[in-house]
Amino acid sequence: MSQQQISLPAKLINGGIAGIVGVTCVFPIDLAKTRLQNQRPGQQIYKNMMDCLVKTVRSEGYFGMYRGAAVNLTLVTPEKAIKLAANDLFRHHLAKDGKGLTVFKEMLAGCGAGMCQVIVTTPMEMLKIQLQDAGRLAAQQQKPIVMTPTKLVATNAVLSRSYNSGNVVSAPRAVSATQIARDLIRTQGIQGLYRGLGATLMRDVPFSIVYFPLFANLNKLGKPSRDESSPFYWAFLSGCAAGSTAAVAVNPCDVVKTRLQSLNKGTIEETYSGVMDCISKIMRKEGPSAFLKGAGCRALVIAPLFGIAQVMYFVGVGEYVLNNTPLSLLSA
């Protein structure tokens, strides 16, 4: 990415377009990731990503793979825009006299970007996860499960009306993101949308610390000379490689975040009081391998998402839009 004077509106447009294009392409894989991460031993409905997608299409139709996509498409623009623009802004201010940044300063810029983005990421993920996981819960409730009163888990008050009382649990009725958000705000206040904020920070800050310096250094390898930018394809491959590496590295934190933000639980699924309680229960009952659930899916989601983002920066879509529309006033 260019080290020239930053045009913040252009960065926001680039990040927003990249987010929308990327999410549209990889959202079904993200849905599979959420459902695989929420599975418990003894209640496994899906064997792997492909099995999850096939069963989702069979039971919920093609558009079932896009449950929660509207939330993502609405909020991914500010989320990705904040992340990428904040990183550029921090890098710009940390650079001195046009000299290159040290790895430590690159990591510091990434840390700042990760902390900024959770303002949007946390409520977006909170709402998205409820919609994505609804199909898994419905499929699980259709399986014959012998339940005792001691194993019945009380669901969260926000969504508890989606279930019948007693030992027979029916499939949850369809709810919208707007309805979930409204209920959360009414019952818990704005902090209801920020449930799992600590776990989100645990995931996104390390992700940005790994991703941005790694991308910057991989991208440097493809530059023909010091003053030239790397080729189009190299920016894409660097974004994919850095994104997938960072995604797998922080996957344990993503599993914890997904579990904490899932309001609606299955018939014998445990609830967690916080990050440490979640980590200890997963380790004790499911073993260390549980923290890698959905890692492959997450890598497949993040790699093209950030590869596309870097291509948007390379092509300069935001700059083109600003220079050829009335929006040019924003960059003045």
| Residue 88: per-residue pLDDT | 83
| Residue 65: per-residue pLDDT | 92
User: Comparing 69 with 143, which gets the higher pLDDT?
Assistant: 69
| Residue 218: per-residue pLDDT | 93
Burial of 113 (0-12, 13-18, 19+ CB in 10 A): buried
Position 41 pLDDT exceeds 90: no
In CATH, the number for domain 8-40+47-137+175-324 is: 1.50.40.10
Give the mean model confidence (pLDDT) for residues 91-120. Answer: 86
Q: Do residues 177 and 131 make contact, with C-beta atoms less than 8 angstroms apart?
A: yes
Kindly report, residue by residue over 123-182, the tens digit of the pLDDT.
999 999 999 988 888 887 776 544 434 333 433 444 443 333 333 334 445 678 889 999
What is the rounded average pLDDT for all residues in the chain?
82
- What's the whole-model pTM score? 0.80
At 108, the amino acid letter reads L
Percent of the chain with pLDDT over 90: 42
User: Comparing 315 with 124, which gets the higher pLDDT?
Assistant: 124
Position 272 pLDDT exceeds 50: yes
50-54, 104-108, 199-203, 305-309: the lowest-pLDDT one: 305-309
| Residue 134: per-residue pLDDT | 86
Kindly report, residue by residue over 199-244, the tens digit of the pLDDT.
999 999 999 999 989 998 998 898 888 778 888 889 889 989 999 9
Give the mean model confidence (pLDDT) for residues 49-71. Answer: 91
Residue with tokens 């549209």: 24
| Residue 311: per-residue pLDDT | 79
| Residue 101: per-residue pLDDT | 83
| Residue 165: per-residue pLDDT | 34
Long-range contacts from 82-85, C-beta under 8 angstroms, 24+ separation: 82/15, 82/113, 82/116, 82/117, 82/119, 82/120, 83/15, 83/113, 83/114, 83/116, 83/117, 83/208, 84/11, 84/14, 84/15, 84/18, 84/113, 84/309, 84/313, 85/8, 85/11, 85/12, 85/15
**Residue 329 banded pLDDT, cuts 50, 70, 90:** low
Give the mean model confidence (pLDDT) for residues 104-131. Answer: 92
Per domain, the residue ranges of the chain are 8-40+47-137+175-324
